[in-house]
Amino acid sequence: MPPTLPRTVRAVNTAQLLDLVQEAAMHRFSQRLPVDWLQEHLDAEATHYLFPVLVQRLTHRPEMPLQWRCQQLLTVSTGEQISGLLDVLPGTFDTIPETLDTASKKDIVRRVERAATVREWAERMAAGAGS
């Protein structure tokens, strides 16, 4: 029986998010942004959000641990919120404290659905830098 995906949203600060991304890089998970990109572009004082959207099991690579593929809502240095994906170990996700009420979680999910993706934001920033 496949594991049950948690239906929740977790809040993390920038340092915690960078730790999660470093763990994903260590395991060579496919959905993650480079740590140096995040350090350059994230608002260092912001809260970011993760919520699992699917169970990621790589049957063609049985040595890879099971992962939760999480949607992210990131706050970047411009103050904008952008969306991305991050693969997280279920045990690691479970250690992130549950701090948000139901209304906040629903609001975050709505915001991520309207947010520009990391790629869209980066392309917009690059186009603006060239003007």
Neighbour count for residue 50 (Cβ, 10 Å): 26
Tokens of 131: 């003007």
Is residue 5 domain-resident? Answer: no
What pLDDT, in 10s, does the model give residues 44-94?
999 999 999 998 876 666 677 788 999 999 999 999 999 999 999 999 999
Please give the average per-residue pLDDT across 108-130, as a whole number.
Answer: 90
Number of domains in the chain: 1
131: DSSP letter: -
CA distance 37 to 34: 5
Is residue 91 domain-resident? Answer: yes
Please give the average per-residue pLDDT across 17-33, as a whole number.
Answer: 91
Residue-range definition of the domain harbouring residue 70 = 10-129
Is residue 3 domain-resident? Answer: no
Report, in angstroms and rounded to the nearest whole number, the Rg of the chain calculated over CA atoms: 15
Answer whether residue 13 shows pLDDT above 60.
Answer: yes
Is residue 83 domain-resident? Answer: yes
Is residue 28 domain-resident? Answer: yes
Is residue 125 domain-resident? Answer: yes
Tokens of 125: 């920033």
Helices (H) and strands (E) in the chain — how many of each? 5, 5
Please give the average per-residue pLDDT across 34-51, as a whole number.
Answer: 95
Is residue 64 domain-resident? Answer: yes
Tokens of 14: 């920038």
Is residue 4 domain-resident? Answer: no
Predicted TM-score (pTM) of this structure: 0.90
Q: For the chain, how far is it from start to end, CA to CA, in angstroms?
A: 54
